[in-house]
Amino acid sequence: MMKTENQTLANQTAVVTGAGDGIGRAIALRLAALGAEVAITDRDLAKAKETASLIAAAKGKAITTELDVTDIAALPGTVAKLAGALGRIDLWCSNAGVSSMKRFVDVSEADWDFNVDVNAKGAFFCGQAAGRQMLTQTRREDGLRGKIINIASVAGKTGKAAFLSHYIASKFAVVGMTQAMASELSPDGITVNAICPGYVRTSMQQREIDWEASLRGLTPEAVKELYIKDTPLGRLETPDDVAGVVGFLASPQADFMTGIALTVSGGAWME
């Protein structure tokens, strides 16, 4: 259930991709709790509506629209539609992501395309469409036209993870594009940052646990314990752990941060 918090994002608007469940849903709930009107987007519109209903039940404001981040041709029209419905887009969070696991020598072109098309190409062109919209917007009192937040992964900072070479490539791309986007857009009042979560407890992670168990010849419970052992804080990360940092980056406290990839992993990756 969404808890009402200090309304640091009152009168602001936000768009979250892949917000039908998992990390995206937690992000949408957090932003709404902070006072933003949130556009819940997902390729599964029914799930997007479930997230919106949770926000509405907590007296927050949300709209929904179907969005497949791999449909690049449709992105400009969808962003224009969202900007029209919201009035402007103060925050764009590219959260939609996928994963699969295979040994490096077994990764196919289809495996590569599946991960890169959503995680890297999708985030790139979503950010482009959002950036174009923000450039048309007047600067707010804080001097900004908007903020873009990309959800990357600790896999975007270290390649030391078995069976994820194609996923790692896609997330390294997200960290790099975040810096490039920030370099070009920040002078025009648009900040761009990324968040790099660790072992987040979601349905996607459960699939990864099952895949890794099969690849390693272990039980799923044993793999889960490996993840926890690799996390100094001693537990799996939750979607709310990620959402809290999105709320911070969206807040005025982070207005002078851009081009940063914040690691939020319970110590699973230390820089």
For residue range 136-183, list pLDDT tens digits in order. 999 999 999 999 999 999 999 999 989 999 999 999 999 999 999 999
Q: Give the number of C-alpha atoms closer than 13 A to the C-alpha of residue 35, restricted to the C-beta side.
A: 11
Q: To the nearest 10°, the Cα dihedral for 155, 157, 158, 161?
A: 0
**In contact, 65 and 88? CB cutoff 8 Å:** no
pLDDT of the residue at 22:
97
199 is catalytic: no
Task: Note whether 252 and 8 are within 8 A (CB).
Answer: yes
Name the pLDDT band for 247 (thresholds 50, 70, 90): very high
At 40, is the secondary structure helix, strand, or coil?
strand
| Candidates 47, 121, 171, 224; catalytic one | 171
Q: Supply the pLDDT for residue 6.
A: 82
227 is catalytic: no
Q: Which residue has the tokens 């889960």?
A: 224
- Go through the domains of the chain in sequence order and give each one's CATH number: 13-198+238-263 (3.40.50.720), 200-236 (no CATH)
pLDDT digits (tens, 9 = 90+) for 181-206: 999 999 999 999 999 999 999 999 99
Q: What is the pLDDT of residues 86-95, one digit of tens each?
A: 999 999 999 9
Choice among 147, 157, 167, 227 that is catalytic: 167
- Percent of the chain beyond pLDDT 90? 96
Q: What are phi and psi of 153, to 5 degrees?
A: -175, 160
Torsion over CA of 35, 39, 41 and 45, rounded to 10 degrees? 100
